[in-house]
Chain A
Amino acid sequence: MAILETIGLEKRFGGIVAAHDVSLAVEKGARHALIGPNGAGKTTVINLLTGVLKPTAGRIMLDGHDITALDPHQRVRLGMARTFQINQLFLDLTPLETIGLAVSERLGSGGDWWRLVGSKTAVTDEIVEIVERFRLADVMHERTAILPYGKQRLLEIALAFACRPHVLLLDEPAAGVPEAERHELLATIAALPAEVTVLLIEHDMDLVFSFADRISVLVNGSLFVDGAPEEVARDPRVKAVYLGEEADA
């Protein structure tokens, strides 16, 4: 059963068609990768899925709900969270405060204005679990702005994970991470719980083929090929359009 599905999704910016008739189905529990050359519309699709952009046409279904008209924060509450290609973190807060924020929000106490932060054990217990899972315990009291890039990348994923999503969208999670810190990041991604469905938007072919059990290829705003990794790797059109470009680069 598809947990996340788009039906004929389209987005135009004036005369430019950034996404055209995208019908994508992500199965429950899948490790699904969305790949495509630069400018193929991957980020547009992510922004449509999360509600940052509203589609010109088409529908988006999450877990059987039509979420096309919902605001970003409402989609989060229905169980879909994302990370960003370029870190979008709260630089003045510590990782602890950052994760606490998301956990409080999910447990419905984010609007409490009379209780002090840190006074609810349900919240602190969950913070601890996430801090440990994402190996952030040693830096949790530092300001996010001064963390090493690899740690910021981990926090980026931890923050999305703290929303306890059924569907997690990872937008180029390994982008720009130095070789030395890369292993830790990939190990953490590989260790994400199996029940969380992951849609990975990625450039890095090693990561895609080692991680994904299904791959969709987006070219010029349209879905081009959709299938198991072996099929996609064998497909001559993909080689021509995508891998060919990689080889040139």
Chain B
Amino acid sequence: MPANKALKRRRGLISRKALPYVLSLPALIVCIGILIPFFTAVFYSLQRYRLSQPWARKMNWGENYLNFLSDPGFWSTLKVSLSYAVLTVGLELLFGLGIALLLRKRNRVNNFVSILLLLPLMTAPALAALMFKLMTNPGFGILSYFLTLIGIDDFRWGASPSSALFTVVLVDIWVYTPFIMILLLAGLRSLPTQPFEAAALDGVPRIQQFFRITLPMLTPYILTATLFRLLESIQQFDIIYAMTQGGPGDTLTVFQVEAYLNFFQSTNVGRSAALLMILWAITFVISNIFIKNWLRLRERARGEA
């Protein structure tokens, strides 16, 4: 094109400087959309507020929180939530790592199995709980039947306080182990081969190779997976609510389930909000650790690319 003397000088519909802001406006709106209810919740947590007694609503500042200290219900909630989180994440890490090691080599069988293992992860946790509920039905449940085959006749799964935790943890393991497996498998497959080849040449036994080379190099992935799952586990709602609604009694009243029941059953907005704030504080601390660690991993991956 020969030099065009009639060069346009338009700046376009949107000036260059304003463009980025316009594009991210919706994200900003969603941000605000989250922050408003959040601060409302903070506000509620400092109130004595029951929907069923709107006239009695008043600020009681930190009283909700102080009451928790002497409330056995709160400690029970804390204890169950932590047990659930530790059990699920710990066991899922173990199994996930094991399966990832099993599937480490790239071959047809392993790839096929990896794909199959995606399926539990893609199942809605609430529906997975439902599936297990059917399978553990005392009357016709297949799992109950299997137990009778080995002599355990009266295992009540989710209906009994002693086995309810076990049951929901089982469902969680079924749904979420594949997630850890995928992460760790990606990590395993991205490890450089030279250290292993060198170790093999030196005659280092495989088990030692695992503990001395594999595990340390996998640490960032393990950490990422752990923190990610920890964050989700301590807030678990779907599986527990779908399985037992927090029961039997109050054996499974983890944070979010308890908050839900407080809000909808007891209409105790204040307590519910305070409970959620404590949960949020816990997740905030963990997620900050996670984000820092994840950013570091990302920088490393970028640097090697």
Question: Are A and B associated in one complex?
Answer: no
